[in-house]
A = this chain, B = another copy of it.
Amino acid sequence: MAGFDKRVDSARQALDGLTDGMTIIVGGFGLCGIPENLIAEVHRRGVRDLTVVSNNCGVDGFGLGLLLEKRQISKMIASYVGENAEFERQLLSGEIEVELTPQGTLAERIRAGGAGIPAFYTATGVGTPVGENKEVRKFDDRDYILEKAITADFALIKGWKADWYGNIVYRHTAQNFNPAAATAARITVAEVEEIVEPGALEPSHIHTPGIYVDRLTQGQFEKRIEKRTTRSA
């Protein structure tokens, strides 16, 4: 199964071919389910002028925040800036171009990119800044705007377990944007916590079929928590 064995030896090898000016989609929501090691490798490589598509842009000093600090990102397509001070600073100063996109529209645009749908209509954003300069069209007497698919050169995703074929399952809410991201790039690179033997995953439980995955690595994860909330036992 050499042709289907998606395993590569390192994060370095996994990002072979990533160069300046490329577009990358990065899975994760906040710091949950982000490809920590692949992001670190993008940082190490120092590639610049990247367009990054990701719901968030990490936090100061972790996740995609690392790439912001090193000024590797020239354009960000995201739904949330939130508490990322460096992101907000670069946005307000105009150092980075930001295309703020509603979260559901962002997910759907990535999904469309992977599914061969070049564009779709949605009511989200009608009559708001998001709808400016977009076609508005009525269906059944309601207004919708046209939104376009997103595709990328690389997708960097994070799974829980994967078999050699690149079939992936996600753990809890670390799924989020990862399955969509996996479908929408020319080269999809997945890092997972555990690589298992083919046959170990139940076919009906697989979240991301291996057809979407080109390269697979196993990583060590810090899994930093953004907001630690607890109840007393």
Residues of A within 8 A of B (CB): 108, 112, 115-123, 139-140, 142, 144, 148, 169-172, 175, 203-205, 207
- How many copies, total? 2
Given contacts A171-B204, A204-B170, contact A139 B116 (CB under 8 A): no
- In the complex formed, the residue of B with least CB distance to A142 is B118
16 contacts between A and B (CB under 8 A): A108-B115, A112-B120, A116-B123, A117-B120, A117-B121, A117-B122, A118-B139, A118-B144, A119-B120, A119-B121, A119-B144, A120-B120, A139-B148, A170-B204, A175-B204, A204-B205
**Taking the nearest CB of chain B, how far is it from the CB of A99, in angstroms?**
18
Q: Are A140 and B118 in contact (CB under 8 A)?
A: yes
- Taken together as a complex, chains A and B put the C-alpha atoms of A121 and B146 apart, in Å, by 10
Closest to A175 in B: B204
A170 to chain B, nearest CB (A): 7
Closest 7 CB pairs of A and B: A118-B139, A120-B120, A119-B121, A117-B120, A118-B121, A205-B205, A118-B144
When C-beta atoms are compared, the residue in chain B nearest to A124 turns out to be B116
Which residues of the partner chain B approach A120 to less than 8 Å between Cβ atoms?
A: 112, 117, 119-121
In the complex the two chains form, what is the Cα distance from A116 to B122 in whole Å?
A: 7
Chain B residues near A171: list those with CB within 8 A: 204
Measured between alpha carbons, how far is A148 from B121 in the docked complex, in Å? 10
**A108: chain B residues within 8 A (beta carbon):** 115, 117
Residues from chain B with a CB closer than 8 A to the CB of A139 are 118-119, 148
Q: Which of B140, B172, B203 contacts A204 (CB 8 A)?
A: B172
- Cβ B204 vs Cβ A169 within 8 A: yes
- Find chain B residues with CB under 8 A from A175 CB: 204
Q: A112-B120, A118-B139 provided; 5 other pairs, C-beta below 8 A?
A: A116-B122, A117-B122, A118-B144, A119-B139, A175-B204
A117 nearest in chain B by CB position: B120
In the docked arrangement, what's the CA distance between A39 and B144, Å? 36
Question: Chain B nearest CB: distance from A116 CB in Å?
Answer: 7
**Contact partners of A170 in chain B: CB under 8 A:** 204
Q: Which residues of B contact A119 (CB under 8 A)?
A: 120-121, 139, 144
Closest-by-CB residue of B relative to A171 is B204
CB distance from A174 to the nearest CB of B (A): 10
